[in-house]
Chains A and B, each alone.
Chain A
Amino acid sequence: MIHMEQLLSILKEINPDNEYETEDRLIDGGLLDSLSLLTLVSELEDAFDIEITPTELVPANFNSAKAMWTMVQRLQQKP
């Protein structure tokens, strides 16, 4: 999927040290710090034309690339 690859490349650019394809503890494991997370939020908003509110900023949405992608798709469907 082109969009998932886009998400992965955004993540790799922010912090290349993590294995985003398999990692599922990006937040709980402290692998993405708060600055990286904020950069990620603005990149995602720009790339996918969505709005990420503080309510969305929970580990469940950001612990893995897959979780992020699920959130992005859900927010894209919002009016």
Chain B
Amino acid sequence: MNYTTLAYLLAFLPAVLALYGLLPRRLRRYLLLATSYLFYLLFSPKLIAYLLASTAIIYFFGRWMAKYGAVPAAAKKRRAIFWCAVILHLGTLLFLKFYNFAGWYLNALFTRLSLSASLPTLTLVLPLGISFFTLQAVSYLADVYKKTIPADGDFWRLALYMAFFPTIMEGPICRYSQTAEALSAGENLKYENICFGAQRIIWGLFKKLVIADRLNPVVATVFNNPPPYHGAVVLFSAICYTLQLYADFSGCIDITIGTAEMFGITLPENFRQPFLSRTPSEFWRRWHITLGAWLRDYIFYPLSLTRFVKRLGKKARAKLGKHLGSVAQTVLPLLAVWICNGLWHGTGWNYLFYGLYYFALILLGNLTEPLTAKAAAALHLGKNSAVRRALQTVKMAVIVVTGELFFRAANLHQGFALFQSIFSGFQLSALSSAMLAKLGLSIQDLAAVSVGLALVLIVGILHEKGIHIRKTVSGWKMGFRWSLYIAAILAVLIFGAYGAGYVAVDPIYANF
């Protein structure tokens, strides 16, 4: 029962809302927790053990750290408790994700060395949401360790923070201080929250069903069976995948955030018009925002401020000057961040490549920042000049689409093969409507997707200008308002990808 199914939208969610409204305030958190566990059990009855174990570990280890909190002499003990809990979490995640991958290579090595040892291949299933709730757990532990937050003595509040059903599948990755209190507060339902939340859900459904799912066939055709596709067809598919991934992931996040909003709970945003970015660094502050923020706060800054890295930085600044020295200080922390980003997404060399790709681009961008500023000044191109923005938009389009091509490829080898194939026999005429139809993108699909993307662009520009669309519309006359709402619902029902010839597409990020 994922977020785009009728079961969720017309049965589960309304039922939870109704019960929530009927229950007294102090019982509402237990309802949310029970329904969250029910939601999880519907996916995997056995694997809920991981979620429960993770919750128990952070509860007990958090309180254990708090026990030694006021005693300066026990700092070493606190650190040991912290690292024990973190290693339990990350170790489990790494084992489940990488055991078979590493085992394959180790076995190959053993064979080479003529050793009879061999690691058995295990059938390991990744529990739903483990990549997401593990990061939430580690962030809680780190915040308790740093004493940014006190350890929570309320087990059920912590459990709900970890298990909340809208965020369990694909995030956003929430910090304890952002959501734990509000989730447990049991605030009364408000008409405005329910309306705005429902509208956001419809918008998310629109993106997922009208845009993402209609693009899926053409992407699947080319990426799952690369030969004989090449040239413009491959490039077109890579662009379609980029748009599909954005519409799918941000659409599901809209449903998630809209669901929480109906209960009066504000979740952190995960997307902020990423295609308006000017640099790769900015892109990662606008795309999958909560993952970038997690990596920045729990890997980048802690590593950058270790004595070792600070010393390196000081030496680098002395030898290379302020700017280059500062950039040099960030090399190792950035590398750690991007390796983690790549591997978090999947078990494959192409994911590692994806991480290192952005590492290289961001490092290069930071290194050359003074040069580009000088060049822009020399050419009289102000920060917001149309020419500069156009160049940056084209640059970012190339960077992002290339990255996503490798991300989607079955493996690194296929990624390179596909990338190279773009340049062999490139002809725009290859993208005839007959070819597109053969690939799975009919004229109707193309029309629906184009209109959908145009709407997404308009909404994005309005959001960038700080306009709260739902609030603005709520101020319109009733006739106009309801026309828009009904049009939106009809758009999803009529133009969404379902019916003969379409396969319901699982949310892409639920696989991570």
A residues with a Cβ closer than 8 A to B are 30, 33-35, 38-39, 41-42, 45-46, 52-55, 57-58
Contact = CB atoms under 8 A, between A and B. Distances in A.
Contact of A42 (B146, B296, B329): B329
B14 interface: no
Given A30-B285, A34-B300, A35-B327, A53 B366 contact: no
A55 B148 CA distance: 8
B299 to A, nearest CB: 11
A71 to B, nearest CB: 14
Contacts of B313: 38, 42
A45 B322 CA distance: 14
Contact of B146 (A38, A45, A52, A55): A55
Contacts of B330: 34-35, 38
B146 A34 contact: no
Nearest to B329: A38
Q: What 4 A-B pairs come out closest when comparing CB atoms?
A: A39-B326, A54-B302, A54-B305, A55-B146
Interface string B300-337: 11101100001001100100001000110110000000
Contacts of B148: 55, 58
B438 interface: no
A38 B281 contact: no
Given A39-B322, A42-B317, A54 B146 contact: yes
Given A30-B285, A33-B281, A38 B304 contact: yes
Contacts of B310: 42, 45
A35 B327 CA distance: 7
**Chain B: number of interface residues, binned into ranges:** 20 to 34
Contacts, number: 40
B314 A42 contact: yes
24 contacts: A30-B285, A34-B301, A34-B330, A35-B327, A35-B330, A38-B301, A38-B329, A38-B330, A39-B322, A39-B326, A42-B313, A42-B317, A42-B326, A42-B329, A45-B310, A52-B305, A54-B146, A54-B302, A54-B305, A55-B146, A55-B147, A57-B301, A57-B305, A58-B148
Contacts of B281: 33
A37 to B, nearest CB: 8
A41 B285 contact: no
B134 to A, nearest CB: 20
Contacts of A54: 146, 301-302, 305
A15 to B, nearest CB: 11
B338 to A, nearest CB: 13
Interface string B138-156: 0000000011100000000
B142 to A, nearest CB: 9
A55 B142 CA distance: 10
Contact of A53 (B296, B300, B305): B305
A41 B221 CA distance: 50
Nearest to A58: B148
A46 B146 CA distance: 24
A57 B302 CA distance: 9
A29 to B, nearest CB: 12
Given A33-B281, A34-B296, A34-B300, 15 more contacts: A35-B326, A38-B301, A38-B313, A38-B326, A38-B329, A38-B330, A42-B313, A42-B317, A42-B329, A45-B310, A52-B305, A53-B305, A54-B146, A54-B305, A58-B148
